[in-house]
Amino acid sequence: MLKVKGNFGWTDIDMSAVELGKLLKHYTQCLKSEGKSPKTISWYGEMLSIFIRYLESVGISPVLANFNLVNVRDFVVYEQNRELSPYTVQARVRALKAFSSWLFSEQYTEENMLATLKMPKAPVRMIEPLTVEEIDRLISVQNHLTAIGSRNTAILITFLGTGLRESELSNLSFKDAHIEQGYLKVMGKGSKERVVPVGGLGQKLLWRYVFHFRPEPINELNNYLFLTLDGKKLDPNAIRLLLKRWGKKAGVPRLHAHLCRHTYATDFLIYNCGDVFRLQQILGHTTLEMVRKYVHYASAHTLIQGNITSPINRMGIKGLRSYKIDQALRNNGCLTREY
């Protein structure tokens, strides 16, 4: 890496020869110092490590000189040809662009190498929120008069009634659950604390769990709101497995924590529980970008469920006024005429 000896300066270092692996270590330390969560730091590390392994697999030395637009574009095409999900490829490009911006800000590079790299397109799919029928099925398979059933029902209603993330619910301490006042104090992404309203039904189910079934924590370090039967913290992996098994048993296999969050946000708008700024505050989003997506979902749901007619219906086309459904179609459910 170094081409000089003695009292040398930053500009004397041959940056092009610096190994990407060493830069990655520096980058993750910077993320840690900025207060990023261990999960976020691990994600960036894995995304960038995949690119480093790609360079090695095609015989390119993983040094800073080879972190360039050409090699990154080749990497994107390589990942796309592996038939990975478009969202997965997008995520990897997002991580590489963030790393490129950091390299420039730390003066490892003279320009942001990936500034002109566009994000690969991915389809924008509508995410169907949980229906009332699905929620009813989930509730019906729990025995609310047992410790597990009471806790699980309280967890589901908390997810659906507050929009908490999986990690936020897991890390919710007992002292921050202000059930009587009707709100939870939550530590979200970026160590940002916010207040989330619970609602009457959530209060009722949380009180039932706390008063009758919540075990004593094994120690003060485990004094979280939701606990295992032996008083330990219910970690995110346990919650994930719980929801997976629960959904399968109830015939709702798509159940997971983020779907509950999506359902909360969509229903918040459909049932006019507040405006988008209030929803942004409750969900803990720093911008309105994600909230706009929920507005789109809610609008689409309203279009489907509402009694909205089509312009063609109001044109009064004379030749179609007496047009009626074929009798065979009405009686038999299909047409007998061949077309």
Alpha carbon 114 to its chain's center: 25
pLDDT band at 38 (very low <50, low <70, confident <90, very high): confident
Residues 155 and 193 in one domain: yes
Residues 89 and 186 in one domain: no
CATH number where 58 lies: 1.10.150
The partner residues of 19 in beta bridges, in order of sequence, read 63
Rounded CA gap, 134 and 146, in Å? Answer: 22
Can you list the positions of beta strands (E) in 180-296? 183-187, 193-197
Q: What is the pLDDT of residue 3?
A: 52
Residues 87 and 145 in one domain: no
Rounded CA gap, 257 and 163, in Å? Answer: 9
Q: What angle do CA 323, 325, 329 make, to 5 degrees?
A: 160
Percent of the chain with pLDDT strictly greater than 90: 64
What Å distances lie between residue 207 and 18, 136, 181, 202, 204, CA to CA? 58, 21, 12, 8, 5
CATH number where 254 lies: 1.10.443.10
Q: 117 lies in a domain?
A: no
Residue 1 has pLDDT above 70, yes or no: no
Residue 154 has pLDDT above 50, yes or no: yes
pLDDT band at 133 (very low <50, low <70, confident <90, very high): very high
Residues 100 and 141 in one domain: no
Residues 85 and 142 in one domain: no
Is residue 186 classed as helix, strand or coil in its secondary structure?
strand
Q: 156 lies in a domain?
A: yes
Residues 276 and 226 in one domain: yes
Q: Which residue has the higher pLDDT, 335 or 249?
A: 249
State which residues form the domain around 156. Answer: 132-305
Instruction: Tell the residue number behind the tokens 């790299």, with chain if given.
Output: 117
Q: What is the pLDDT of residue 312?
A: 60
Backbone angles phi, psi at 123, to 5 degrees: -65, 140
What Å distances lie between residue 282 and 17, 205, 207, CA to CA? 47, 20, 22
Residue 304 has pLDDT above 90, yes or no: no
Q: If we measure between CA atoms, which residue out of 150, 156, 170, 152 comes closest to residue 212?
A: 150
Q: What is the pLDDT of residue 128?
A: 86
Domain boundary residue among 63, 87, 105?
Answer: 105
Residues 225 and 185 in one domain: yes
Residues 98 and 198 in one domain: no
Q: What is the pLDDT of residue 298?
A: 77
Q: 243 lies in a domain?
A: yes
Q: 213 lies in a domain?
A: yes
Domain total of the chain: 2
Q: 173 lies in a domain?
A: yes
Residues 188 and 85 in one domain: no
Q: 25 lies in a domain?
A: yes
Residues 52 and 192 in one domain: no
Q: 209 lies in a domain?
A: yes
Residues 145 and 247 in one domain: yes
Taking all residues of the chain, what is their mean pLDDT, rounded to a whole number?
A: 87
Give pLDDT tens digits for 310-334: 566 666 666 666 556 555 455 555 5
pLDDT band at 57 (very low <50, low <70, confident <90, very high): very high
Rounded CA gap, 77 and 90, in Å? Answer: 12
Q: 318 lies in a domain?
A: no
Of 78-82, 90-94, 118-122, 222-226, give the lowest mean pLDDT range: 118-122
Residues 163 and 261 in one domain: yes
Backbone angles phi, psi at 171, to 5 degrees: -90, 5
